[in-house]
Amino acid sequence: MHRMESLESRLGYKFRNSLLLAEAMTHPSLAYESQRPHFDNQRLEFLGDAVLQLILTEDLYRMFPDFPEGRLTKLRSQLVSRRALARFALTIDLGSYVLLGKGEEATGGRRRMSTLADGFEALIGAVYLDIGYLGARELVLRLFQSEIEALAGSPEERNPKGELQESLQAIHPQAPSYRVLGESGPDHRKVFHAEVSWRDMVLATGKGKSKKEAEARAAGEALRTRVWEKS
């Protein structure tokens, strides 16, 4: 199977114009190195961002008729954050198909969150140009189905451990690990202390009334400080 046909199979969509797919998968670093500065995925990324925003805004607007603008904006941001888009890209192994310059390839660009998120947006932009809004909408809602269903079931619920794992695995496949450092207080009011680490780096600690709560607090603190970006 041709390389891009394999991506189409994962995406569940066959392009009419294969050049659009090639453009969506061309990282600016390759366009620069090959001296084809006008053939990269930045314009499609710009378009795909707007297409995604409209499709998901419309769906959330219909799904939560009683929600004010602020809550709808918060829910949409959960779906279209760089972290979330990078995770969607990982589910179709998009990083394996991005065409990178040698320098970007050598520095781990294939797993970089920005590369994955931008490539995913460019892919949606390419689908929109290839088939139009209704077809793009059908594809996006299919790809986002489980996330949208999760929002519908519990729109306010936040999963810091899941969010942290998504953030880190967009950079490297290794998952974060948790360990309980200890506990304090009397039996009826115990406080657990937990630590989260990743690739031999301590990210944060947290306290809670249970091991699960302490781990979630540690994950939430890690998301707040994001020490892995500063190392």
Q: Report, as residue numbers or ranges, the catalytic residues.
A: 49, 121
Count of CB atoms situated within 10 Å of the CB of 124:
25
Count of CB atoms situated within 10 Å of the CB of 169:
18
DSSP, residue by residue, 104-130: HHHTTGGG-HHHHHHHHHHHHHHHHHH
The alpha-helical segments, DSSP class H, found in the chain are 3-11, 18-24, 28-33, 42-63, 69-80, 82-91, 102-106, 113-131, 133-143, 145-153, 160-169, 211-225
Q: Which of 77, 38, 58, 74 is nearest to 134 (CA)?
A: 58
Q: Note the residue count of the chain.
A: 231
Burial of 94 (0-12, 13-18, 19+ CB in 10 A): buried
**Tokens standing for 62?**
């219909």
